[in-house]
Amino acid sequence: MHNTIRINSIHELHKFLESDLVLNPQITIIDFSKTRYKSNEEYKFTTELYCIFFKETMCANIRYGRSIYDFQAASLVFMGPNQIASIEANENTEHKGWGLFFHPDILRGSNLSSNIHEYSFFNYETNESLHISTKERGILEGILDKITIELEQNIDKHSRTLIVNNLELLLNYCMRFYDRQFISRKDINKDVLVKFEKELKKHFSKNNFEEKTLPEVNKIAKNLNISPNYLSDLLKKETGKNAQEHIHYFLVEEAKNQLSLSKESISQIAYNLGFEYPQYFSRFFKNKTGYTPIQYRQLN
pLDDT of residue 84: 76
Q: Which of 131, 166, 184 marks a domain boundary?
A: 184
Asked whether 90 and 40 are in contact (CB, 8 A), the reply is: yes
Taking alpha carbons only, the member of 279, 255, 257 closest to residue 267 is: 279
Q: What is the mean pLDDT of each run of 10 residues along the chain (300 residues)?
A: 79 87 92 72 80 69 39 76 71 71 94 93 83 91 96 89 96 94 77 86 66 84 89 87 90 90 90 89 93 88
pLDDT of residue 285: 93
User: What's the number of domains the chain is made of?
Assistant: 2
**Whether residue 281 is found in the same domain as residue 158:** no
**Whether residue 33 is found in the same domain as residue 178:** yes
**Whether residue 160 is found in the same domain as residue 284:** no
pLDDT of residue 284: 94
Query: Can you give the CATH number for the domain in which 38 is found?
Result: 2.60.120
pLDDT of residue 41: 64
- C-alpha 67/C-alpha 76 separation (Å) is 19
**Whether residue 218 is found in the same domain as residue 230:** yes
Q: Which of 140, 157, 184 marks a domain boundary?
A: 184
- C-alpha 31/C-alpha 37 separation (Å) is 12
pLDDT of residue 9: 93
**Whether residue 153 is found in the same domain as residue 225:** no
**Whether residue 198 is found in the same domain as residue 114:** no
Query: Can you give the CATH number for the domain in which 198 is found?
Result: 1.10.10.60
pLDDT of residue 70: 37
pLDDT of residue 89: 56
pLDDT of residue 156: 86
**Whether residue 10 is found in the same domain as residue 30:** yes
**Whether residue 86 is found in the same domain as residue 57:** yes
- C-alpha 84/C-alpha 44 separation (Å) is 7
Taking alpha carbons only, the member of 73, 23, 79, 19 closest to residue 48 is: 79
**Whether residue 155 is found in the same domain as residue 131:** yes
- What contacts 271, CB < 8 A, 6 or more positions away? 212, 278
Q: pTM score > 0.85 for this model?
A: no
Domain residues for the domain of 67 are 3-184
Burial of 3: CB neighbours in 10 Å, binned 0-12, 13-18, 19+: exposed
Q: Which of 184, 207, 229 marks a domain boundary?
A: 184
The Cβ-side half-sphere exposure at 2, using a 13 Å CA radius, reads 12
